[in-house]
Amino acid sequence: MRYHYVVGLAVAALLGVQSAQAQSSADALLAARLSLSKQDYAAASATYQQALKHQPGAAKDYYQAAEAAARNQEPKAALQLLKQAVDKGYFPAEDLEAEESFASLTSQAGWNRLLTRARTKQQRHEARFDPQLVALLKKIEYQDQHFRLVTEVADKKLGLNSAQADDAMRQQSVMDYQTIKQVDSLIARHGYPGKSLVGEYQKDVAFFCDPA
């Protein structure tokens, strides 16, 4: 009886330590996110890496840690963290290429391998779903974002309210109307195109495109 009591105390103590470590890691990740939002990349990178070394995080934690490391001129660490993000989550290769934070990683030897890894994972994942429906969601997402991205680039190069940006937003307004009609028609025919219909990569496209 005494043996079981002692074992019970030991297990309780161990669980208490693990719980404290998990809370400490959660607090550290919160601090890292705050540092990243303040563009304190050195603090964010160090805190993320320390926290993730002690307690595994979610895919977004590794992604944000990679952003912080890349911004802090730590390309090798950033690439390794981004690889873990890709392995744990669902990040399209084109999104990785478009992310400004990762511009410094494109010269790294493992960059192209990472993109191939991301593409292969997405292809294998989406092979389980209706290819025409997946392709339609990709088209809808492109329509929803294209001229907004053109506007963003124009704002950075030419300043706010440039003629180029205004023209792009006018074209986007026309495209938005067409896109909403496409989404409504798609939902009427197939139901809501969430994860069960189109998988992880396209599951939120309709939600963000259709204001209704």
Asked whether the beta carbons of 25 and 16 are under 8 A apart, the reply is no
pLDDT of 154 > 80? The answer is: yes
- What range does the domain containing 170 cover? 131-209
Query: Which pLDDT does position 208 carry in this prediction?
Result: 87
Same-domain status, 27 and 116: yes
Residue after which a domain boundary falls, among 126, 142, 163? 126
Report the number of distinct structural domains present in the chain: 2
Query: Which pLDDT does position 24 carry in this prediction?
Result: 79
Query: Which pLDDT does position 26 carry in this prediction?
Result: 87
Question: Each residue of 122-142: pLDDT tens digit?
Answer: 999 999 999 999 999 999 999
Asked whether the beta carbons of 11 and 3 are under 8 A apart, the reply is no
Residue after which a domain boundary falls, among 110, 126, 142? 126
Residue after which a domain boundary falls, among 111, 126, 141? 126
Same-domain status, 116 and 139: no
Same-domain status, 106 and 164: no
**70/206 Cα distance (integer angstroms):** 32
